[in-house]
Amino acid sequence: MIKPKLCREKAHTCISLILLPSPKMASVAASSPISFAASFLRTKPFPLSPRFLPIPTLRCALSSSSSSDPIEFDITFAPPKPAPSSPRNNGSAFQQLFIPWIVRGEDGKLKVQDQPPAHLIHALADATTQNPKKKVKKKKPQAASSSSSSATTATSEPKLSKAARRYYNENIKEPPQRLSKVLAAAGVASRRTSEELIFAGKVTVNGSVCNTPQTRVDPTRDIIYVNGNRVPKKLPPKVYFALNKPKGYICSSGEKETKSVISLFDEFMSSWDKRNPGTPKPRLFTVGRLDVATTGLIIVTNDGDFAQKLSHPSSSLPKEYITTVAGDVHKRHLMAISEGTVVEGVHCVPDSVELMPKQHDIPRARLRIVVHEGRNHEVRELVKNAGLEVYSLKRVRIGGFRLPSDLGLGKHVELKQSELKAMGWKS
Dihedral sign of CA atoms 239, 174, 231, 274 in order: positive
Nearest residue to 192 (alpha-carbon basis) of 184, 202, 182:
184
Catalytic residue (one of 69, 222, 273, 291)? 291
Q: Give yes or no for a contact between 323 and 369, defined as CB atoms under 8 angstroms apart.
A: yes
**DSSP string for residues in 337-379:** HHH-EEETTEEE--SEEEEEPP-SS--SEEEEEEESS--TTHH
- Category of 274 on φ-ψ map: left (φ > 0), alpha (ψ -120 to 50) or beta: alpha
CA atoms within 13 A on the CB side of 114: 6
> CA torsion angle for 156, 162, 164, 166 (degrees, to 10)?
130
- Give 174's contacts (C-beta < 8 A, 6+ positions apart): none
Residue 288 DSSP SS3: coil
- Give 364's contacts (C-beta < 8 A, 6+ positions apart): 324, 325, 326, 391
Q: Is 305 among the catalytic positions?
A: no
CA end-to-end span of the chain: 87
Structure letter (DSSP) for residue 256: T
Angle between helices 33-42 and 118-126 (to 10 degrees): 100
Q: Give yes or no for a contact between 336 and 350, defined as CB atoms under 8 angstroms apart.
A: no
Q: Give yes or no for a contact between 166 and 201, defined as CB atoms under 8 angstroms apart.
A: no
Report how many helices (DSSP H) and strands (DSSP E) the chain contains, helices first. 13, 23
The alpha carbon of 68 is separated from its chain's Cα centroid by a whole number of angstroms, namely 81
Radius of gyration of the chain (CA): 51
Residue 208 DSSP SS3: strand
Write out the catalytic residue numbers.
291
